[in-house]
Structures are given as C-alpha cells and as structure tokens.
A and B are shown apart, each in its own frame.
Chain A
Amino acid sequence: GQQLNQSPQSMFIQEGEDVSMNCTSSSIFNTWLWYKQDPGEGPVLLIALYKAGELTSNGRLTAQFGITRKDSFLNISASIPSDVGIYFCAGQFYYGNNRLAFGKGNQVVVIP
C-alpha cells in the first residue's frame, strides 16, 4: 500500500522556536495536505498544496509541495503552547476519489 514517511516522529521544542517537519513518499500525489490532531479528536486541516513547487503560508505555518510530487515540508514559526499536538501529512491519490494516505505523524511538544 501507499506509505508516507514522516520525520521526525516527535519533537520537544522551546516556546518561540521554529519547527520543521517533512514527509516523503514513494508515490506521486496530486495534492499534499497537513493536518493537526489534538488528543481524542479528529484531524483538522492546516494547509493544502495543489501544485508541485507550491509554497503556501497560513499564519505562522508554511508548507511546500516538492517538485517531484513525492515530498512536502511544514514549518511552524515562533511556536506557542497551543501548537502542541500531532501533525500528519497526507497525500491525495492521483487517481482520484479523494482517498487520502496519511503519514505516521509528528508529536510536537512545546515547552513554555
């Protein structure tokens, strides 16, 4: 099946620091997505990327869609305590139907 490799798997960062995480795949996706999941809740969409090479920002979040369509990264600048959570990358299968494949997630802990 489709596998997305997400790294690092966990991070402990100081409040105010920037955070970077990336996601790679052996498959090509036509859309890359980044989600945040809080404990006991469903994922919430942070950023969607539609074109290879696209760089998109949403507040303190910046994400890029790799040129090869097989990777993406997410940056969080000036982290705050509410950034704590699990961040997932996801790729939409090229052959449609809106099915998504998720990465394993990155647990982010922000130390005040």
Chain B
Amino acid sequence: GAVVSQHPSRVICKSGTSVKIECRSLDFQATTMFWYRQFPKQSLMLMATSNEGSKATYEQGVEKDKFLINHASLTLSTLTVTSAHPEDSSFYICSAPGVAGGSYNEQFFGPGTRLTVL
C-alpha cells in the first residue's frame, strides 16, 4: 500500500519557538493532505486540509496564523507550529488520500509526530 512519512517523529522545544513538521507521500502524489491533532487518550481531531498550490482550509477553531501549512509539492506538506506553548504539546498526524477509485479514496496515515513544548 501507499506510504506516508512524517519527520520528525518526536520533537521537544522551548516555549515560544516554532516547530516545523513534514508530511511526505513516498510513492504517490497527493494534491490534498490532512493534518490532525490527537491529545492523550482522545480522538483524532482534524485541524486543516492542505491543498497543493493553494491556501489550506482550516477547521473551525483552529488558528491559521498559529498553525501554518504549506503544500509545497505534490508529495510534501508542512505544518509549522508558531510560537509554541505547552498547550500545543500533542501528537500530530497527517494523512493523504491514495489513488482515486470508487466512492472513497483511502486515506493513508503517517506515523505521527510527538511534540512536547517545555
């Protein structure tokens, strides 16, 4: 199946710094990628839809100036957490739909990035 990678897998940073997380589709192209946030023992919450060549679409309540998304190519989307604070500590997961087929394009998830803000 299709593979999605994330880098880094784990990052610890000081409060006030910015952190960039990369999401790559390794063997397929993705014009759309999705970014989720998951707090401990909770569900995945969709943050935004990353669109190649255009602006990201953010879910209600997600600050677009706080979570900057850039879909630079058909295989790479980046999420930058700006001026990170301890409450931003979470597990960030990206996904990308695979090749179109039928009524649903299976989404392939990355392994996630654990962000800890001190």
Contacts and interface: CB of A to CB of B under 8 A. Distances in A.
Task: Decide whether A and B assemble into one complex.
Answer: yes
Interface of A: 1, 30-31, 40-45, 48, 50, 88, 92, 97-105, 107
A94 to B, nearest CB: 10
Interface residues of B, number: 28
B44 A99 contact: no
A43 B103 contact: no
11 contacts: A40-B91, A42-B93, A45-B107, A50-B102, A50-B103, A50-B104, A98-B32, A98-B34, A99-B46, A102-B43, A105-B42
A104 B104 contact: no
Given A41-B111, A44-B109, A99-B49, A88 B43 contact: yes
Nearest to A48: B104
Contact of A98 (B60, B105, B111): B105
Contacts of B93: 42-43
B107 A30 contact: no
Contacts of B42: 104-105
Contacts of A103: 43
Nearest to B6: A42
Nearest to A42: B109
Contacts of A100: 34, 46, 95, 107
Nearest to A101: B46
A102 B47 CA distance: 12
A45 B106 contact: yes
A98 B46 contact: no
Contacts of B110: 42
A40 B112 contact: yes
Nearest to B114: A40
Contact of A105 (B43, B49, B95, B111): B43
A30 B45 CA distance: 19
Given A43-B93, A100-B46, 6 more contacts: A42-B4, A42-B111, A92-B104, A97-B32, A100-B107, A105-B42
B32, B43, B59: most-surrounded residue (chain A CB, <10 A): B43
Contacts of A31: 103-104
Contact of A43 (B32, B44, B59, B97): B44
